[in-house]
Every structure is written in structure tokens, then in C-alpha cells.
Structure 1
């Protein structure tokens, strides 16, 4: 700045030669951003000459003049020259001029004018109202502004979006409740949402980060404002919206389907048949305000045929089975509101942008801009789940939770570049079983975080209960008895080919016998000639985990076998009743094979091997039994999770007493899993 002679520079700005003026204003644009220089420049009368060039120059001289004036306003100086003539000139340039370097400067000037606090200027030149007279002359201004968002020049896109943001913010802040929604709607009709959505997905997002983040924040501001407007039937717009929803339902046709003979004018379920909780629909909008009304009205308007078809289908069903369309719509609005954290301030995100260029995919939410489409897709997913689950009125909260998980998974899992149409299709195609699986995973993670040690204790208890349950089931298989192939190396009758084994009712002896044929009925326990005293059993081993070979599969001799080892009884008791004795020292008794069983299937092998082990108070070892124990344990955990809330009093104080039934003992079990 020291090398610039300010009086000489001001004089050259007024030169008759364009080349001289152009060089002077070129030098001016690089220095005018310094407040001290700006004060000297204004003191030397330079402001009047800069204004003249801004109004009348062309080409690069005009471009440099616009940039200089914009930077002067940035240091909060030069406002005396901002009048209707200046604003009209700038608006004209934006509408008619093709050169990018001129458009950038012009838009920057308007951003400063619109954003400048009204206390610094006259009321006529405050915010958006400062532009309205000029826009009346050039009504295509807003359309051209939105068009500039598609420019290949990112700096121009950023300037255009920054100006749109300024106009939106000023309108939302200062215009009346009747005016600002019209302006926002006009911008949306011109395609601003689609244009900004494309910019948010641009790989070179860094160049547009600040204005894009501001637009995203303004979108949240709009959603908050709409949500904070309570539904009021005294307001004509609100009354018309409600009436439109009622008329779109084709009330005459649906009332005929209800087969009612009551006066249509006083139909007792005018609003409840649409899915409202009562005949006072305003109450249902308490949580989501006019935003919920807008979403419901948009769905009814854009999907009227589907809306009428749903009502007609459900009109023939009992009241408890009808899908509550209105409440479902309001629930989806609330879910989206929470998902996109609309209440969150944008200050933290803006700060992050200023400090880092990483993490854009996390900060920017282009799908937020397609709120209406996501609401429709979420609502249609609700209808699909209602039908798939045959839900009833009391299931409403459960269905809402499923839709919440669906949106969190699909919308929350979408990256920045994923197109909204792909998201809609995924919401429509998401399988119910997969959704339930996600729900259980989330439940377990949520309760794990909330309860930690308590949940682990519940898991341990359920695993122990499952172990006891499966132990009883396995032992019951032994009590029922089973046919086996006869071991070819056994000492049994040479003509016999089958063996039958069964556990005694007191669970102390394993009875068995050899047969040449399998009878239609199992042998009686007291007809089995052999038995083993289980107190003499030392170990049970098997190759049950080994897959049978192809040869074994094709033969009548199963490859799987279970070998029961034990201590040989004392000689004095050897004979037919072997196994009765418990006398003698184990140290002096010889360990021998007491019995070999050859199961015909792996399932039988698993039941008998683990049944014998658990009968001997040992741990089961087969994969089938382990899987069954885990299944029962996890099933119990899921039941508890699905029926418990964080504030459930069940977890406070002592557990309630277990209901008793007179005459009931512990000798029972449930065959929940059929033939397992």
C-alpha cells in the first residue's frame, strides 16, 4: 500500500482514456480491502468515481470496478453510494451479462447489500426489499440466479448460492408468515433444490463448502420454522390444507364402502377413518406442527390414487386392523426430523469447515434436500410393513420403530454421492426379516451400552437356563429309547443285527438288548436282558463330529459310534445282571468297554452322546447341542429385550414372585423345537 499514491490513483480513475481507468481500478481492487486505504480513498473523493465506473463502465474495467466496490462493502464502507440506481444496475448485469468475472463481482455486491443489518441503512434498502423494485423490472432475476448454479465456474456457483442464501435468510427472518413461504416455494419451483443437490455431490466440494453448508443449515431452519407453526384451523391456509386431505380421500365412495346409512355431513369417523386418533385432527399435529401437515398433504396430492385405494381396502376391515395413514405420515415426519438432527445448530459444522477439508461426507447431507421424497418412501415402507406383519392398532409403536431402523439403515448408510432414487428403491425392497435382524442387533448394542454388567449377568443366567433345558431334552431322548445298529465285533447273538437301548426311569441304569428285527413297537424296558450301572461309567467317547464316509453311508453299518467305558464289576457279581454291583475299590477295578452304540444319524448321535455326558454331569461337546443351547439362550434374551424398556420398573427393586400352581412340580419340559 505504501507504493500507491492514493490522490494520483483517484485522479486516474476519472481519466478520459479507458486504458488508464482500467489500470487504476485494477490496482484499486488489490488494495481497497484494507480499511486504512479505504478511508484515504474515500477522503480523496474516490468513492464517487468508483460508483460512476460501476454504473457505466464495460469489459474488464467494469469487472475490476465491481470487485473493488464489493471489497469496499466488505470492510463496511461505501454504503452512501448504495441506492436504487446502483441496485438496479447490479440486478441488470446479473440478468443480462454473460461474462463470469463481471457476474462474480455483481453477485458479491448484492450479497453484502442483502446481508447488511437494516440498522445500518434506510428501511427501503434493507435486505431482500432492497432488491424488489429492481426485480420487478427484471422478473427473470431469480431464474437466472438459479441457472448460475449449474455454471462450470465454481467461484460463480459459490457466489450465486451465497446470494440465494442471503435472500432466503433475509426473507425467513424479516418477511411475514404469509410472505416468506411463497418466496421459498418460488425458489423451489425454479429448481434450486435439484441444483444444490447436484453441487453437494460434486467431487470438488471444497470450493463450495461454505455456501453449501449454509444452504443445508437454512434448510434445517425452514424445517424448524414449519414444525414450530402449530396447526390452527382458524388460519385459512391450514383449514384449506385439512379440507384438501379430506376431499382427496374421496369421502363419498369410502362412506358407501362402510355401508353406513348415517348422514355424510355428520359422518362419525370423518377424520379417524383417515388414520387420525380422534375427530379433532389438530391434536395429532402437536409434535410436528405445520411441517407434518405439509408432508401429509404432499403425499395425498402426489399419490392420491394410492391414498384412496388404501382407504377403500381398509374400510372393510375392523377398526383395529385399519392402517392409521395420518398417524403413520406424522410418525415418518418425526423420524426424519430426528434422523437429520434438524434441531442441531450449524455452528459446529461451519467451524469444522474452516479448520479442515476432510470429512465432507459426514458433514453434508444431500438427501436432506429431498425431504418430501424420503417422507413418501418412508410412508410407503410403513404401509408395506403393516401389511406384511398383519399389524393391528396396538402394534403401531412397534411398526414406527421398525421404520425408524429402516431409515437409519438405508438413509443413514447412504454415502454423499448416492442418488435419492437408489435410496427410494432400497427403502421399497428392504426385506422384513433383514429388518428384524437389524432391530435385534441394535437392541443388543443399545442395552449393552446402557446396562453393561447387568446385561451380561442376564446372558449368563439365560445360558445356564438353556443348558438345563437342553440337558433335560437330551436325557428325555435316552428315556424314550432308540434303535441302533449292532456292533459287528460285539459278543451278542450272531444272528442279531439291531440293538435297542433305553435309560431307566430312575436314570441310574442303561438297559439294552440285541434283536434280529426292528419291531413295529419298541421293546418294553423290562424285556431288555442287559443293563449298565451308570455309576460304573468312567467315560463316553465318540467320533460323532466326524463326517461319515461315502462307503459307510451306502452300507447298513453306520460309521458313527459311541463307546461307553467303565470299570469292570467284581468277579463275584459277573454274569447276567452285570452292572448291579457298586462294591470294590476303583483302583483295583479294570477299565473296559461296557457298551458300543452305532446311531443311524448324526442327530441321534448328538442326542445320545451329549445326553450321556450331561447325565454324568459333564459338558456337552457336539455342535448340534451347542447350537441348540445358543439358540434357546439368544431366543430368551430377545424376548426379554423386546419386552423391556429402559425405564421399566421390572429392573428396579426385588423381582416379583413367580406365579404358582397347586400340584405342579419340577418334572416337566416344553418340546418347543419339535424333533431337535
Structure 2
């Protein structure tokens, strides 16, 4: 470093970088610039200049003979100085460095990777590469110089920290939407193998997991400009597009990696919170993007590995604060899976369905018989009304089939239960199979499994993730109520109503209640107390709302209401709002920020959050001209709530802030977290409505999101649903139209000698 005298001498000819001759009056230094040789100069920089002009003036004043295009400015954290942030860095008197331009740095980096001189040099080169490769100018030149192929070679051969740096560099490159379309199956399989190894280091597994997640999400339908469902045929990506991968491409390589999914799920129990979060995000992406032709195979494998149990354990983990959003995403994905199973018809010719039916029939230990008319009796012996299984499972679908199969497998006394029912008079037998499907229906209604991809649960639902176990408890309760009430064949609806009432009580507040209380509610509650409570409920309940057509209408309106609220929340983000800059989590020193206020606005393309920090609130113009800084929405992996506190002095000086105490997290705070950069923003909303708008809006905006985190948003969805339902029913109730509880299809036509008349 040069001395102050040296710098003044070196810069005496032009103490100001402003494009004009220096004044005789000494200028007050505002910025310090350090060259690669260690020379330090202090200069006043005109904020109206571009970065290129500033660099050019510095090269002239420092008598640097190389072209100015070879140089650039960075701050002390190595952030590149651009025209967008130059003014801010001048105002805050940031210390600057005159360094190689990104394109020059990229050329040298690619050459160093090609030479691979020694392990230490390679490691240092990769360490620098992982920082710079996010910059577009650097990345373009690095790719043009065949740097990507050299980086891939390192990933195939390196180990330890060297491999971790190489994978992180690849992860950061893949944040760009170009330049990595040449990644092939061999590379994907290499990343799968790295993740499949239990011996791989945590700092290696984190970027490897993020790379696979990015590849899963880079399917042709996700390309910019492609609207979901806009094309009925396969979408062909244009040449050079990175949107050419997707679930199917990655899953093919996953199948080759021995124990891949098992290892990823096991890492949900990692002591490293970031590793757990990366693993959750990969699983969520796989669930969200699973292709139709591989969906059943993938979901079956996840169920076999008991991923739900692993997530339930996370719900009570000490690391839960950082994983809330990912767990709610997982719940929403499992609701999507459950809905798809429920709406998939049972087909006896489908191998997996046939196998499940075989397990059920074998577990019953029954033998076929013949009824009075000479028809074969098989499934009616289990409690179905007919032998037509597609009809019997019409409402419960494959979900009902799987629940009945799990019941048979988990209860060694299932055959005894069936035998005991068969020993009763026909009118007194509990139709176990029919009851099983009815329980599936009521549990689906309880957990609002109305439509795929929509979830208004703001809390954890561990009992929902244990759907099959709850189903088993409820069906045993159904049979017990049948026996204790002395029910006959005409009492099925009455007993089902008892079970529905008990399920609401047993499954209440599931985010805070232990499992043994649920078991107690189903196993120990007596018929008399259930009946008395149900009678009180009936006095308050409208019978019309419990009819199946009305429940189906509510499901349709629920989906429409959710989408309406989602669009409203996103519009709030586009409109923008003022927030307070808060102390980040684990902050030790409660100090007032230089600029305590931040205005944020989402761009119309829904890709960036633009913002400006200020000492005072001011009228922000429409558009993005007043908002020089930005955060990429794709970089936000988690919206953590209740994480940060207001600085003490700001809290005392401002009257329009939410009440809180220094260093105590505000309930209206939220942090935008990145999986590999930590917190991108720490804000406190001015009121609960603004907090709900932004936390839920950002969650709904994320491609792997879909859940809500505030009770306000969930309440809006429910209120709109109920209002819409009542308006629809007014048309019917006003005309005194009778709504049936269900429609029974008649027998199929005996021949094809008919046609459908056009109604005028």
C-alpha cells in the first residue's frame, strides 16, 4: 500500500475523475481506489459518469498504458461495479479496486483450468471462478473460451474442496438461462453418483443437489414465453436452449444410481440445515415436475422409502425455522399426489391395481360363492354393493384402493374381522370395503383435497402425511360404532356421520397435538358421547351443505377462489410497498441502518424484485426507474417469517412501525433466503395485511411453491369460497329445487342402437 503522500503525488495531476481539468483548490477525497500493484489513490468520482468513463480516467491519471477495456472496478467484497450500482457506491464511499475486466479474467481463468498446473492453483482458480461466473460478461467469455468443458472435466476427476468449488461454480453458472445446454447424460449421471455416495462431503452435496434441481426444472414447458397448458403436443426447445432437460431426463439417470433417492431422503435428517433444505427442495421439484409416464414409479419409490415419515420428523426438529416453507411446499405436493390418486380410476387390468386387489382378496381369506340368482359373489363378500370395482372405487379411486390394501397389510386380524361380519345376519353386517371408501371421502374433505396444487394450510399437517394410518384408525372406529349402535344395512349414512364428527374432533389442531391423543380419540371414545355431540352439531348444521353435489361445488369454488387471491397477491407485489430494513437473524449488534427504509416492487415479468433503500420515504414513481437494485426471484429458496428485529433507534424514532422490542423478532418480519447466499433481504412490514400480501405472494410466485403462510390469506380463500357457495345455492333454494344426496347410474344400454338428441 502506498502512503498518503505517495497517492497525492501520483494523483496530483488529476485529483478528480470528472472529465474536467483539476481545480487549484484541493478536492476532498471521497473514494479510495487500489490498483493490482498495490498503489492506492483517493479521488472524487462524478456520479453522472459511466463505469467505462471512470475506468478510462483512472487509466489516464495512473499512466496505465494498457487499453481501459482490460480493466474494471470492484468493491472490497469483489462485487463488480456497474452503471446500476456506481452511484450508490460513490455515495457510501466504498473502497474500490481497479482489477482485470470480467472478460479478461474469464480468459485467464479458462486458460488456468486448461493447464491444471497443480492442485493448489486449481483450487484457487475454482474458488475465484465460483464468485465471478454469475456475472454475465464473465460467463459469456468463459463459455466462448471453452471453459465449461474444462469445468466439467474437473467435476469428473476432482475430490474434496476442489470438487465442491467446481460444483458451486456450475451451480452459479446455471442461474443464467443460457450457456449450459451442452450438459449431457454422462454429466447428469456423474452428479447423481456424487449424491448417491454417503461418503460425499456436505459442501459437495449442496451444490450437486442444486444442480439436479435446476435440471429438473429446466423442462421445455418452463421456457420463457411458454404458458402452462398452452400446447397439447410435445414442446420442442429451440437450438441452444437450456430448457431441454426436465424430470424424465434426470429420472433416467437417477434410476441408474444405486440408492440415489434413499440417500437424498436420508439427508433430510442431516445436522446441516442447508443440506436438509437443499434435499427438501430437490424432492419438491421432483414431485412438482414428475412426468406422467414415470409418475407412478417415482411416487411408489418415495412411498416405499417413507419420505413422509422423514418430513414428519423434520416438523419437530430444532432446525424447523429455516425449513417451514419447504415443508409447506411438500405438504402441497402431497395434496397434489393424493388428489391425483383419488381421481385415478381403478382398472382391474392394470398390473399395479390387479396386484393390490390380489393382496386385499388374499388377506380376507374368503372364497368365492354364488348368490340366489346364480351370480358369482366375490367383492360383495367384503362389503361392496356390486362386483363392478370401477364403479365401487369411482369416488375414492386408486387412493381408496391403496387405503384398503394398507388396512389389510397392517392388520393381521383383518380376515377375522371379515369372518366375524359374515357370521352376522345379512342386514346387520358392516360393509367394511364400502366403509373404507367412505372414510377416504371424509378424510379428503377434512384436508381439503379438492384440486391439484392448491393448499391453504398455514400450519404443519403431520396427521395428513400419515393418511393411511389415520384411515386405519377411522375404519376401525366405523366398525365399532356400527356394532355399538346396533346398526342395520339402512344405517350406513348415520354411522358415517358419526365417524365424520369424530374425525373433526380427533384431527383438530394437528400441528400441536401428539399422535397418541388421536389414537385415544378413535379407540376410547364411547358411542353415547359421540352421538350426543353429533346431535348438537346437527342442530347447527345445514343439511344441504353436506350433500355430495354441494361438496363438489364447494371444491370447484375453492379452486377458483385460491387462484383469484393468488393473482391479487401478485398484483400487490407489482404495485410495490415500503418496508423497514431489519436486523438480520442472529445479529449481535443492534445498530441503526444508514438507510432504514426500503421500497420493493416486482417487475411485470415476475422475475426480479426491484428496490431502493432510503433514509426517508418518498413518492416512488411507477415503473422501475427509481429502483436501481434488484433481487432475482429464482434465487429465493425460502421465505422465512418472524426472523428479524427492528433496530432500536429506528423503533423509537418512527411512529408508524409495528410494535416490537430490540433484538426480539417482529411478527411482521420476513427474510428472503437463498440456499447458497444466506439472507437476500430482511424486512419488516408496516401492518399484517402488507405482511400477508408479500409473504404469501412470494410463496405463490415460486414455481415449486403454492402454499400460503398467513391466516389472513387462508381466510380470504375460505370466505370467498363460502360466499360463492351461498350465492350459487340461493338460485336453487329460492326455487325450492331438491338436491339429491347422490345420483345412481342406471344399467348400460344393451346395444348401440341409440343416439343422443340435441336439446334446443
CA apart distance, 1:277: 1.6
For residue 248 of structure 1, the aligned residue among 363, 367, 370 is: 363
CA–CA separation in structure 1 for the residues paired with 2:416 and 2:455: 46
CA apart distance, 1:271: 2.9
Matched, 1:233 2:348: yes
Match of 1:671 in 2: none
Match of 2:506 in 1: 410
> Could you give the per-residue CA deviations for residues 356-376 of structure 1, whole angstroms, max 9, x where no partner exists?
xxxxx8432122221111110
CA apart distance, 1:431: 2.9
Q: Which runs of 5 or more residues in structure 1 are unaligned?
A: 256-261, 350-360, 451-644, 654-676
Match of 1:328 in 2: 435
CA–CA separation in structure 1 for the residues paired with 2:404 and 2:452: 26
For residue 213 of structure 2, the aligned residue among 111, 123, 131 is: 111
* Cα distance change, pair 218–264 in 1 and its aligned pair in 2 (3 A): farther
* Cα distance change, pair 281–191 in 1 and its aligned pair in 2 (3 A): closer
Range with bigger deviation, 198-207 or 440-449: 440-449
CA apart distance, 1:314: 2.6
CA–CA separation in structure 1 for the residues paired with 2:100 and 2:446: 56
Q: How does 1:25-40 map to 2 (within 5 A)?
A: 25-40=126-141
CA apart distance, 1:438: 3.0
Matched, 1:151 2:270: yes
Give yes or no for contact 2:459–2:511 (8 Å, CA) kept in 1: no
* Cα distance change, pair 279–186 in 1 and its aligned pair in 2 (3 A): closer
Match of 1:502 in 2: none
For residue 317 of structure 1, the aligned residue among 424, 442, 451 is: 424
Match of 2:5 in 1: none
CA apart distance, 1:136: 5.6
Instruction: Name the TM-score, length of structure 2 as normaliser.
Output: 0.52
Match of 1:401 in 2: 497
CA apart distance, 1:40: 4.2
Matched, 1:23 2:124: yes
> Could you give the per-residue CA deviations for residues 134-158 of structure 1, whole angstroms, max 9, x where no partner exists?
4465312222122111111111111
> Could you give the per-residue CA deviations for residues 568-613 of structure 1, whole angstroms, max 9, x where no partner exists?
xxxxxxxxxxxxxxxxxxxxxxxxxxxxxxxxxxxxxxxxxxxxxx
Task: Tell me how many residue pairs correspond in the alignment.
Answer: 435
CA apart distance, 1:11: 1.4
Match of 2:538 in 1: 443
Larger Rg: 1
Match of 2:705 in 1: none
CA–CA separation in structure 2 for the residues paired with 1:52 and 1:99: 19
Match of 1:302 in 2: 410
For residue 520 of structure 2, the aligned residue among 425, 428, 432 is: 425
- Which structure dedicates a bigger proportion of its chain to helix? 1
Matched, 1:51 2:51: no
Give yes or no for contact 2:461–2:510 (8 Å, CA) kept in 1: no
Matched, 1:293 2:388: no
> Could you give the per-residue CA deviations for residues 337-378 of structure 1, whole angstroms, max 9, x where no partner exists?
1111122554665xxxxxxxxxxx843212222111111011
Matched, 1:8 2:125: no
CA apart distance, 1:301: 2.9
For residue 273 of structure 1, the aligned residue among 369, 381, 396 is: 381
Match of 1:184 in 2: 299
Range with bigger deviation, 121-130 or 382-391: 121-130
* Cα distance change, pair 44–251 in 1 and its aligned pair in 2 (3 A): closer
CA apart distance, 1:41: 3.6
Give yes or no for contact 2:336–2:453 (8 Å, CA) kept in 1: no
Q: How does 1:423-572 map to 2 (within 5 A)?
A: 423-447=518-542
Q: Which runs of 5 or more residues in structure 2 are unaligned?
A: 1-79, 82-98, 221-235, 546-728, 738-760
CA–CA separation in structure 2 for the residues paired with 1:268 and 1:20: 79
Instruction: Name the TM-score, length of structure 1 as normaliser.
Output: 0.58
Equivalent residue of 2:466, what SS? helix
CA–CA separation in structure 2 for the residues paired with 1:215 and 1:246: 33
Matched, 1:163 2:276: no
* Cα distance change, pair 140–41 in 1 and its aligned pair in 2 (3 A): same
Matched, 1:201 2:352: no
Q: How does 1:569-608 map to 2 (within 5 A)?
A: none
Match of 1:341 in 2: 448
CA apart distance, 1:214: 2.7
Equivalent residue of 1:413, what SS? coil
* Cα distance change, pair 77–4 in 1 and its aligned pair in 2 (3 A): farther
Equivalent residue of 2:181, what SS? helix
Give yes or no for contact 2:206–2:274 (8 Å, CA) kept in 1: yes
CA–CA separation in structure 2 for the residues paired with 1:648 and 1:395: 28
Equivalent residue of 1:363, what SS? coil
Root mean square deviation of aligned Cα: 3.6
Equivalent residue of 1:278, what SS? coil
CA–CA separation in structure 1 for the residues paired with 2:254 and 2:543: 59
Give yes or no for contact 1:406–1:427 (8 Å, CA) kept in 2: yes
CA–CA separation in structure 2 for the residues paired with 1:389 and 1:4: 85
